[in-house]
Chains A and B, each alone.
Chain A
Amino acid sequence: MPNYEKILLKNMETPGYTGDLAAYERAGGYQAIRKVLKEYKPEQVIETVKKSGLRGRGGAGFPTGTKWGFIPKDPALTKYLCVNADESEPGTFKDRQLIDRDPHQMLEGTLIAAYAISAKVAYIYIRGEFALGARLLERAIVEARAKGYIGKNVFGSGIEIEIWVHRGAGAYICGEETALLESIEGKRGLPRAKPPFPAINGLYQKPTVVNNVETLSNLPHIIMRGPEWYAAIGTQKSPGMRIFSVSGHVKRPGNYEVPLGISLRELIDEHAGGVRDGHRIKAIIPGGASAAFFTPEHLDVKLDFESIAQAGSMLGSGGVTVMDETTCMVWAAYNLLGFFHHESCGKCTPCREGSAWLYHILERIEHGEGRPEDLAQMERLCGNIAGKTVCAFGDAEVAPILSTLKHFRDEYEAHIREHRCPIGEGVVALAAR
């Protein structure tokens, strides 16, 4: 297995690392923020991060420094930083590990980001189900606050940065940045129509940046080792390391931190142990449930933003799900549409009505009641949803259908023709552990 020097997972893979503040500092933590406060003006932090080429690790991959640059510089405006710890994209579980095992790394990154955009308050929006993670974060914040690392006078610099944990209550859509803001404001988590954009009109109508947990966790390292070091890892347009969460029919599911640009094959075979014994790969989702399905033909696609997009899918959240030949593709699409149907916020017409309609069609097909016109109908409906919704959820929900129709149309046709699922229930036997 290729040996890459880990950045984010480094501490927690050291045996005996507890993740508390003392351990983090022993491992070199909280030096970066001290350096930033002493030597950098906020604009310089932004420039540094821009130079590093760091791109968001939540799903959209937007250049972080550029996002920070959109915040107006007027000192009279109150600004906010929000940490997106809502991790709910199916197949993704990296942020959970970062929060549980090395919360201070993320906190330090939060401090750096808040300083860069001159935000005095940062809210960590953590999904409600992460009860343990919220407790661990609160404990870490208490530790940091006690030492003056968070609060009115961080590290004695005279700068104020407060960090508060804000727990969600069960809604995938709250991972969408404007829905996240609505949820922090105490409302239903409905995404906002854009324009206006959060950088101008965000939390409580103030300029706001929302960054992912993994994105922020990179910042202390970029500061300490320099943006050029970071930019040299990975590819030119997709620099840095990235944690991929691999799950499904592989021998060793888990979180793997690798440089961007390695092949999908390497990730699956050499890190995650390859497909389980006696089976062959049938399909792979490379970037969370919102990403189009790949087939074994795509195993040599490089795992970076551009290459995957060119191959017809997206890097997304880095949630790689592997399915072997025991998996029915219609059933897989049906399962995912069940997810989207449940999580649709209901704000806009195409997604609200469309997610239900598509779900019902897939349900029929999977249970042997498909009709010949269903496939064309689904394609047409997907066309009426994608690009027409308030947020990217609409584009996400059509990805499983369109990609499975593209690569596995014969399976759909067999379901319709034979009035049954050819594979069986489409459900795999209990994994033996």
Chain B
Amino acid sequence: MTTQTAVATNTVTLTINGQAVTVEKGTLLIEAAKQAGVDVPHFCYHPKLKPDANCRMCLVEIEKAPKLQTSCNMPAAEGMVVSTNSPKVAEARAGVLEFILANHPLDCPICDKGGECHLQDEAHAYTPNYSKFGEPKRFFEKEYFGPLIDKEMTRCVQCLRCVRYCDEIVDSRALGSRDRGDLLQIGGLVNKELDCEFCGGCIQICPVGALTSRVAMYDYRPWQLKKIETICPHCADGCRLKVESRDNVVLRITSDAGRGRNNGDLCAKGYFGFDVVNRTDRVVKPLVRKARTLVETSWFETTALVASRFAAIKAQHGGSAIGGVISAQAPNEDLYLFQKFMRLVMGSPHVDSTARYGHHNTVAALRDVVGHGRMTASYEDVERAQALVVIGADLTETNPIVSYRVKSAVRARGATLVTIGRYGANHGSFVSNLVNRATHPLTTAPGQERAAVLGLIKALVESGRIDPRLAASSPHYVQRLSTLAGRLSWDDLAARAEVPRQAMETAAGMYAGAERAVILFGQDVIRSVGAADTIRVIADLAILAGKLNAPGCGVNPLCDESNEQGAVELGVAPDYLPGLALATDGAARQRLAAAWQDELPSDTGWTAMEMLEQARSGKLKALYLVGEDPFGNLPASAKVREALANLEFLVCQDVFRGPSAEVAHVCLPAASFAEKEASWTNHEGRVQKGKQALDLVGEAEADTTMFSEIARSMGYPLDYAGPREILMEAGRVAPAMTSKGANVHPGAVVAATLAEYVSGGYERDVERRFAPRPARAASSEYPFHLTLGQSLFRSGALTARSAALAKVPHQGKLLVHPDDAIKLGIANGATVRVRSAHGAASVVVRISPKARPGQVLFPEQYVEAVRDLVPIEIDPATRVPIFREAAVAIEKTAEA
């Protein structure tokens, strides 16, 4: 067989309605038709879901086939002759619609799907004007389905899209069918309210009005809505969503299949969290403290006041007496302009962002390895991986869209999933849990993720599975790390990690044996002491296995806030300049000064924590806070209030009045994410632009407008024609921010940086990072280990204000293992007192094996007092404050 004759084609050519069309082999007929511009009507088919062929609406006629065939599950074959509009097909279609309409209620006037309903559209197109059905209609009793999602089963067409979506995409499996035949209906458990992840996917995918949102129920018709796309601000996944509003009030959010990095999937925050923007308690006018009360003041007066106060402090104490902290949820334009404003207008080197709480660890670790802190494998790589290793992440809670990709890889493509982390499986829950899907779960002692990773490296070395190309090109690197791995003791690693040696060896084998393998690591690693070392070790693992830079492989940090990448890459940090150059890099400083046509401040800058310290000591006189109140996140031991109260001048620029506003001198009303044209950089490094979806509310302004106004008032104008111009300038000084095209992954490894790393850079701190972290000190007074994690339903101060999200059941509870619950004598719903060396808090218990014995889990943003339980430890190298874990005692106080 020669290569000439054995021509492998992976296309087929067929005829649809007389038109020839060529498609990839395996393409379903309905999709081939779409490519040919022919829309085949359907209910149950959806490109994201496995075909179910139950509605029978997509029947087409295929020449030589005895019966009509559903086009949604029939692959196109060479030479097929298909008709989607023959008389037989028309008759079948009309027949199906007649069957559906027979029992369908005449609800259109009260059905929220009206105007965007598959059934309306197809009935309009394909049926006669009157019904021949003369029997009593089947009727389902209406059952209350919960405060967020409404269920009207008389409208249901039993396409099962909702059930299939909840199963195949979300893996929550909270929806199911009940009974059979014409009594088949959809529901949750028995007749109870729905308990699930509330991603809104079932509402979006329902072709009729059987599942609708109760938020804004009956309030609108879809044609009344103004629909504008932007980017979700609630996490770093970077979903594209459509803000749909009327009269400047957001009524709902949607996301179209095929759009954005999320392909139309959302999570509860994106889907239901929009009501935050509509709240009437937003700051909509400038507020100035006059005689101890914040008073609404005109922009004219306020701007003048702010400018003059900053200028006065600058004149008297120097620019270094002023600091600025901005939220890493801010868009790139805000971030870039803010650091320029601070450095040039204020003349201050003290500028930082909330990326300081964790992401700086990632950047410190990976900047010298891959050249940046971005995911080196795209979401598509994650979905197509054959092996996935998820380290230190409660992924389904923190980054739901990435978790959909991981779950799809495992369920639809049979990928191996190794989880390394402190969470256990909790089958039977309606909120998906990655450990439930892990093929190789390695449950580690809290804080010992590094020990497990070192174990994987050791197994890799000992089983001779180091990448041969690496061994040939970088023998010193391989030898050095092999020797270090050899010195580690299996017994020690296994005991520390609380993972058997064999499990680590097996996991290493699965990882090494997969051609396409991606490692993802999350906040349990990123926000730990010594994180940068742990992250480097993770990178070493990938490099040794030959899976950092290979196609389809990579190492992916899972970021928390929506623009942590942008914050650090645009130099909103005392230690970096825009473009990820070190602030101490003389050449970079010169280049930036040239671009800005002005000198940069020469003093060493303070991080956010240091600014607080200096505020307490009196050296920092003024502080400019932009975005969510970043200091609402810190525990009481940070003595935030004391620090802020000591300032001569505090400006809070935000959408809402946070806790810092109590001691602020000025509150400036900021536009929300939906009210500005802006761009955000997700953790893939993709810069995504959002349009302004809403008009500005009250007298609120875009943050960039406010920076420009204050700058001009201070005699140092920073004027731009618009956000686009700001981003273009940012792109000139930070070229990685510019788009490289839709199909190029922006987080690709920088080859030169990696080469430098393996040829020598690896040596820095190598012995320190190849040592496992010290074991937790056992304490009889505080026998439990508390980890503050994240809830799927609340990712920060903004989502904490959502009335809709607050209605989701089961959130904000202390997870306790069943065995521990028995020992403590507590049942589900009991109230307990959690005590640490730093304080006490009262919380409600939820029993779940997701918390391992001896550990408890609680999500951030729910109970302030819990936050105050944890000590703060500042990483000396990266200056990242770690305040996520504590040793605690638990006492029962009240029954459920």
Do A346 and B182 touch across chains, with their CB atoms under 8 A apart?
yes
Which of the listed residues B100, B180, B183 has the most CB atoms from chain A within 10 Å of its own CB? B180
* A380-403 contact mask (Cβ, 8 Å, vs B): 1 or 0: 000110011110000000000000
Task: List residues of chain B with CB within 8 A of the CB of A410.
Answer: none
A279 contacts B by Cβ under 8 Å: no
Of A21-29, A214-222, A348-356, the one contacting chain B is A348-356
Task: List residues of chain B with CB within 8 A of the CB of A364.
Answer: 135
Which of the listed residues A171, A357, A383, A390 has the most CB atoms from chain B within 10 Å of its own CB? A357
With A387-B67, A388-B59: A350-B54 Cβ-Cβ less than 8 Å = no
Task: List residues of chain A with CB within 8 A of the CB of B100.
Answer: 349, 353
* A320-355 contact mask (Cβ, 8 Å, vs B): 1 or 0: 000000000000000000000111111111101111
Contact of A347 among B54, B67, B133, B179 (CB under 8 A): B54
Do A388 and B133 touch across chains, with their CB atoms under 8 A apart?
no
B726 contacts A by Cβ under 8 Å: no
B601 contacts A by Cβ under 8 Å: no
Size category, A interface: 20 to 34
Do B53 and A390 touch across chains, with their CB atoms under 8 A apart?
yes
Contact of A193 among B73, B133, B134, B181 (CB under 8 A): B73
With A350-B99, A361-B135: A389-B56 Cβ-Cβ less than 8 Å = yes
Do A384 and B98 touch across chains, with their CB atoms under 8 A apart?
yes
CA distance A350 to B93 in the complex (A): 11
Do B135 and A348 touch across chains, with their CB atoms under 8 A apart?
no
Task: List residues of chain B with CB within 8 A of the CB of A342.
Answer: 181
Do B182 and A344 touch across chains, with their CB atoms under 8 A apart?
yes
B103 contacts A by Cβ under 8 Å: yes
Do B135 and A388 touch across chains, with their CB atoms under 8 A apart?
no
CA distance A51 to B608 in the complex (A): 84
A15 contacts B by Cβ under 8 Å: no
Do A356 and B67 touch across chains, with their CB atoms under 8 A apart?
no
Task: List residues of chain A with CB within 8 A of the CB of B467.
Answer: none
Task: List residues of chain B with CB within 8 A of the CB of A193.
Answer: 51-54, 70, 73
With A193-B52, A195-B73, A353-B102: A346-B132 Cβ-Cβ less than 8 Å = no
B807 contacts A by Cβ under 8 Å: no
B625 contacts A by Cβ under 8 Å: no
Do B133 and A384 touch across chains, with their CB atoms under 8 A apart?
no
Nearest A residue to B75, CB-CB: A195
Task: List residues of chain B with CB within 8 A of the CB of A383.
Answer: 95
Within 8 A of A (CB), among B175-195: 177, 179-184
With A356-B138, A357-B102: A388-B54 Cβ-Cβ less than 8 Å = no
A360 contacts B by Cβ under 8 Å: yes
Nearest A residue to B95, CB-CB: A384
- What number of A-B contacts does a CB cutoff of 8 Å give? 96
CA distance A383 to B92 in the complex (A): 9
Contact of B184 among A341, A352, A357, A384 (CB under 8 A): A352
Contact of A356 among B53, B57, B182 (CB under 8 A): B182
Within 8 A of A (CB), among B65-106: 67-68, 70, 73-75, 91-92, 95-96, 98-100, 102-103
CA distance A347 to B160 in the complex (A): 9
CA distance A389 to B157 in the complex (A): 15
CA distance A338 to B103 in the complex (A): 19
A188 contacts B by Cβ under 8 Å: yes
Do A195 and B74 touch across chains, with their CB atoms under 8 A apart?
yes
Do B68 and A388 touch across chains, with their CB atoms under 8 A apart?
yes
CA distance A377 to B53 in the complex (A): 26
Task: List residues of chain B with CB within 8 A of the CB of A373.
Answer: 132
Contact of A350 among B52, B95, B132 (CB under 8 A): B95
Do A349 and B59 touch across chains, with their CB atoms under 8 A apart?
no
With A350-B56, A388-B68: A345-B132 Cβ-Cβ less than 8 Å = no
Task: List residues of chain B with CB within 8 A of the CB of A388.
Answer: 56, 59, 67-68, 92, 95-96
Min CB gap B182→A, angstroms: 4
Task: List residues of chain A with CB within 8 A of the CB of B443.
Answer: none
Do A349 and B56 touch across chains, with their CB atoms under 8 A apart?
yes
Do A346 and B180 touch across chains, with their CB atoms under 8 A apart?
yes
Min CB gap B78→A, angstroms: 16
Within 8 A of A (CB), among B149-174: 157-158
Nearest B residue to A371, CB-CB: B134
Task: List residues of chain B with CB within 8 A of the CB of A195.
Answer: 73-75
Do A349 and B135 touch across chains, with their CB atoms under 8 A apart?
no
Min CB gap B156→A, angstroms: 11
* A57-81 contact mask (Cβ, 8 Å, vs B): 1 or 0: 0000000000000000000000000
Task: List residues of chain B with CB within 8 A of the CB of A360.
Answer: 135-136
B117 contacts A by Cβ under 8 Å: no
Min CB gap A132→B, angstroms: 26
Task: List residues of chain B with CB within 8 A of the CB of A346.
Answer: 158, 177, 179-184
CA distance A201 to B778 in the complex (A): 53
Within 8 A of B (CB), among A357-383: 357, 360-361, 364, 371, 373, 377, 383
With A193-B73, A357-B133: A349-B181 Cβ-Cβ less than 8 Å = no
Contact of B103 among A343, A348, A353, A390 (CB under 8 A): A353
Min CB gap B466→A, angstroms: 29
Task: List residues of chain B with CB within 8 A of the CB of A171.
Answer: 180
Task: List residues of chain B with CB within 8 A of the CB of A345.
Answer: 180-181
CA distance A356 to B92 in the complex (A): 19
B755 contacts A by Cβ under 8 Å: no
B62 contacts A by Cβ under 8 Å: no
B307 contacts A by Cβ under 8 Å: no
Contact of A353 among B52, B57, B99, B179 (CB under 8 A): B99
With A193-B73, A356-B138, A377-B132: A343-B95 Cβ-Cβ less than 8 Å = no
CA distance A34 to B820 in the complex (A): 57
Task: List residues of chain A with CB within 8 A of the CB of B95.
Answer: 350, 383-384, 388
Min CB gap B101→A, angstroms: 9
Task: List residues of chain A with CB within 8 A of the CB of B135.
Answer: 357, 360-361, 364
Task: List residues of chain A with CB within 8 A of the CB of B494.
Answer: none
Min CB gap A156→B, angstroms: 35
B55 contacts A by Cβ under 8 Å: yes
CA distance A350 to B55 in the complex (A): 8
Contact of A341 among B52, B67, B102, B181 (CB under 8 A): B181
CA distance A371 to B132 in the complex (A): 12
CA distance A350 to B183 in the complex (A): 14
CA distance A116 to B99 in the complex (A): 45
CA distance A191 to B545 in the complex (A): 45
CA distance A54 to B647 in the complex (A): 94
CA distance A345 to B177 in the complex (A): 11
Do B55 and A348 touch across chains, with their CB atoms under 8 A apart?
yes
Contact of B54 among A188, A355, A390 (CB under 8 A): A390
Task: List residues of chain A with CB within 8 A of the CB of B67.
Answer: 387-388
Which of the listed residues A344, A353, A355, A383 has the most CB atoms from chain B within 10 Å of its own CB? A353
* A166-177 contact mask (Cβ, 8 Å, vs B): 1 or 0: 000001000000
Do B158 and A349 touch across chains, with their CB atoms under 8 A apart?
yes
Min CB gap A62→B, angstroms: 15
CA distance A140 to B57 in the complex (A): 48
Task: List residues of chain A with CB within 8 A of the CB of B158.
Answer: 346-347, 349, 352
Nearest B residue to A344, CB-CB: B181
Nearest B residue to A348, CB-CB: B54
Within 8 A of A (CB), among B28-61: 51-57, 59
* B570-596 contact mask (Cβ, 8 Å, vs A): 1 or 0: 000000000000000000000000000
Task: List residues of chain A with CB within 8 A of the CB of B136.
Answer: 360
Residues of B participating in the A interface, judged by any CB pair closer than 8 Å: 51-57, 59, 67-68, 70, 73-75, 91-92, 95-96, 98-100, 102-103, 132-136, 138, 157-158, 177, 179-184
- Ordered by A's residue number, 17 sampled pairs between the chains whose C-beta atoms are within 8 Å are A193-B52, A193-B54, A345-B181, A346-B177, A346-B180, A349-B96, A349-B157, A350-B56, A353-B103, A355-B182, A371-B134, A373-B132, A377-B132, A384-B98, A388-B68, A390-B54, A390-B56
Closest 7 CB pairs of A and B: A384-B95, A193-B53, A346-B184, A353-B99, A344-B181, A356-B182, A360-B135
11 additional contacts (CB under 8 A) given A171-B180, A357-B133: A193-B70, A195-B75, A341-B182, A342-B181, A345-B180, A349-B99, A352-B184, A353-B102, A357-B102, A364-B135, A390-B56
